């Protein structure tokens, strides 16, 4: 039975495959978990494509995946804040290894999973929801202010919209026309970027400009909303720091600490936040799960559910 799903060389989907690898050994500040669910993110295929190799060098073959939820089975040195048998979720500092039956987590980026939170919901919180939480925290939109999210229909946008709406912020987001109702279900107003009258719709929705912008797309998408970038508009980007800098914006640096993850899980348990897992694939269908994310059109989050495979 394959232990992991990863890639043997940098390139396209053709380099992906199941791998028979030894069980990882936790180092200092690490936990070994038996994986119950793993999150599937755009960063995964970008790592496989070699887009991150300059700052994330990997020994190949490498296992895909950055975030998991599972049960602790072994503690590394200096990891005694957790115990064997704990249900946890998080990421690791190595940047990969999640599409596997056993994976390593870094204690400073790991939190206990509440019983009221499902394994798949917990598994998709660290990357997208963690990014959204850090972004909303940095932008600090106040109740009554307007926030424009570029790319609101993806995992980070879905999380950011809910977090901002919960704080009383008026949220608007760019998305395809097909996602208008989905965006509305988040409490936000969608502005279809694929409509002929996008500029008119944008100015009508934000006649006084946006107080804050969270850019999850970059490039032309950020330039296209220049008419509503008001004086004093606060801009954060995860995609195009150079373009954002032209408008006075800054890149978003993520933390996703244990405290952040604990707060996100609490909100899920209290039903104040929904990670919106749109698809849960079996481990044997890991390639299909990543293909759905790589297509660029998932609605919400995609996860691997390994519970039936143990």
* pLDDT tens figures, 174-223: 988 888 898 999 999 999 888 888 989 999 999 999 999 999 987 788 88
Write down the pLDDT at residue 155: 85
- Calculate mean pLDDT across residues 83-95: 93
Does the pLDDT value for residue 254 go beyond 80? no
**In which band, very low, low, confident or very high, does the pLDDT at 111 lie, cut at 50, 70 and 90?**
very high
CATH homologous superfamily of 129-251? NAD(P)-binding Rossmann-like Domain (3.40.50.720)
Q: Is the pLDDT of residue 172 over 50?
A: yes
Q: What is the mean pLDDT of the chain?
A: 91
> What does the domain layout of the chain look like in residue ranges?
4-124+275-309, 129-251
Tell me the C-alpha distance between 271 and 256, whole Å: 20
* DSSP assigned state of 233: E
pLDDT (mean) for 293-307: 84
d(CA 252, CA 218): 12
pLDDT at res. 2? 67
**Three-class SS state of 250:** strand
Alpha carbon distance 194, 83 (integer Å) = 50
Indicate left, alpha or beta for 247 from its phi (over 0: left) and psi (-120 to 50: alpha): alpha
Domain 4-124+275-309: assigned CATH number? 3.90.180.10
User: Which pLDDT belongs to residue 37?
Assistant: 97
Q: Specify the range with the lowest mean pLDDT, choosing from 21-25, 55-59, 79-83, 288-292.
A: 55-59
Candidates 1, 12, 119; CA nearest to 68 is 119
pLDDT for residue 310 is more than 60: no
Give the tens place of pLDDT for each residue, 127-161. 999 999 999 999 999 999 999 999 898 888 999 99
Q: What is the DSSP string of 29-91?
A: TEEEEEEEEEEE-HHHHHHHTTTTTTTS--PSSEE--SEEEEEEEEE-TT-TTS-TT-EEEEE
Residue with more model confidence, 218 or 60: 60
> Per-residue pLDDT for 300 more than 80?
no
Give 259's contacts (C-beta < 8 A, 6+ positions apart). none
Where does the pLDDT of residue 1 fall: very low under 50, low under 70, confident under 90, or very high at 90 and above?
low
């Amino acid at each position: 039975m394959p232990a992991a799903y990863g890639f043997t060389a940098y390139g396209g989907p053709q380099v992906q495959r199941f791998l028979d690898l030894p069980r990882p050994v936790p180092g200092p500040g690490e936990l070994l978990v038996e994986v119950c669910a793993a999150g599937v993110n755009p960063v995964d295929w970008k790592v496989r494509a070699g887009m991150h190799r300059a700052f994330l060098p990997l020994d190949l073959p490498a296992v895909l995946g950055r975030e998991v939820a599972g049960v602790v089975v072994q503690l590394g040195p200096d990891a005694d804040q957790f115990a064997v048998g704990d249900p946890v979720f998080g990421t690791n500092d190595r940047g990969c290894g999640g599409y596997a039956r056993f994976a390593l987590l870094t204690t400073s980026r790991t939190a206990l999973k509440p019983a009221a939170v499902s394994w798949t919901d917990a598994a998709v919180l660290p990357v997208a929801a963690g990014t959204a939480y850090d972004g909303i925290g940095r932008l600090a939109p106040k109740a009554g202010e307007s926030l424009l999210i570029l790319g609101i229909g993806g995992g980070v946008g879905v999380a950011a919209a809910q977090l901002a709406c919960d704080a009383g912020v008026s949220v608007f987001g760019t998305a395809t026309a097909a996602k208008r109702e989905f965006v509305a279900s988040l409490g936000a107003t969608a502005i279809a970027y694929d409509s002929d009258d996008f500029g008119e719709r944008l100015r009508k929705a934000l006649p006084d400009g946006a107080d804050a912008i969270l850019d999850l797309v970059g490039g032309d998408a950020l330039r296209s909303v220049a008419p509503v970038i008001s004086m004093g508009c606060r801009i954060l980007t995860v995609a195009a720091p150079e373009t954002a800098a032209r408008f006075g914006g800054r890149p978003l640096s993520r933390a996703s600490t244990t405290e952040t993850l604990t707060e996100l899980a609490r909100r899920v348990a209290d039903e104040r936040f929904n990670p919106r897992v749109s698809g849960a694939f079996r481990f044997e269908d890991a390639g299909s799960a990543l293909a759905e994310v790589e297509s660029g059109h998932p609605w919400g989050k995609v996860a691997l559910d390994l519970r039936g495979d143990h």
